[in-house]
Chain A
Amino acid sequence: MSADQEKSMTGTTLQASQLQRMLSGQTILQDISLTVAPGDVVGLLGKNGSGKTTLLETLLGFGFASFGNCSVWGEESTKMSSDCKQRIGYVPQRDELPGEMTAKQLFHLYRQLRPRWDGDMVERLMPAWELSETKRIRRMSEGQKQKLAIVLALAHQPELLVLDEPVASLDPIARRQFFQQLMDYACSDNRAIIFSSHIVSDMERIVNRIWCLQGGQLSCDRTLDDLYESVVRVSYKGELAQAQKVAIEGLLHSEEDRVGGQLILNNWSQGRLIALQNCGLENITVSGLSLEEIFLYLHGAKHE
């Protein structure tokens, strides 16, 4: 291993700074700055059309940033060296597998393209995921293709794994197997994972960091623990005037009933508990939210 590689192993895996991306005159990504370090398992959340795929593809150098820059292990992503590419695994949103090949032929081809091919892992995963090596890819179902794409992305032991909605076509059993595999993978040293998914309940079992894209901007870049601690549900007894509500910082949602109400608050801290008590509220209890609820509240979907 070269000195540069060794250095990059311990440093930042991926970095983007003030990233902006325009396609056909439309701004898709705006002012995005982020870093991914070894060990990070990042979940990318966002509504349809929020720019998740564009962000992932831009980070990996498929397209050029209109402004700002992004680098992978210190190399500009659109000019990555061969060594750098060998350390990346990618599962695209839509399968790009050659339909005329069988999985066996494809593995043979990829083995030549990937020096660090882990044949044992492939041999273990294929039967476990009920994939046939002799079936032509075009005859496979969407779920099977997606599984195969995941196997291909994992098989060369990448240090950065990027998955763009990898579980969209998977059944619940396959999803569970996939996340188990991903957890095993994430436990290895110097690995980083970024994946987008709409199935948030699955995601929260594995990620330790969350990115939320909203209108092309990164509205949230926090660790999962931080997110759980900072976005909370506050239940209370008493009455809160409209003016007091407006004054509450980070209020995402509020509900009232006859005896009290609930507030969903962002950027929660102990100091704000005292502030709420000063508003005359009683029996204040603070509880956590699931990631799905957090996502919905952050995106305003629960206002209705």
Chain B
Amino acid sequence: MKARLLIVDDSMVIRNLIARQMLDERLPPIDLVGLAGDGEQALAIATARKPDFITMDLTMPNMDGEACIERLAKVLPSARIMVVSALSDKTTALRAISKGAHGFLHKPFTEEQLVAALLELMS
């Protein structure tokens, strides 16, 4: 069964960067269930399409990543979430981890780092 992934980031550039990496042969087959530009969209997509894995930006309009992780923990506790954030957001990232994030990837990331982080998240 393919791993179901949801990408959440308010930047289209970053969303595309991550999405493009999905085809990397080192990764297991991945089904991209959606791209969300903010926390509210993410929550809606996650509720409807139940992804197994989520990459989550923290600084976003409408609902930020931290709040979204908190809600997802209740709505979809089975999803493993990887925070993708700049290191200047350490406090937020730490809070996100304590609220249930399973992985952390700091921006900017290289393709190698992204693949490694996804493998770790999916292991």
Answer yes or no: do A and B interact: no
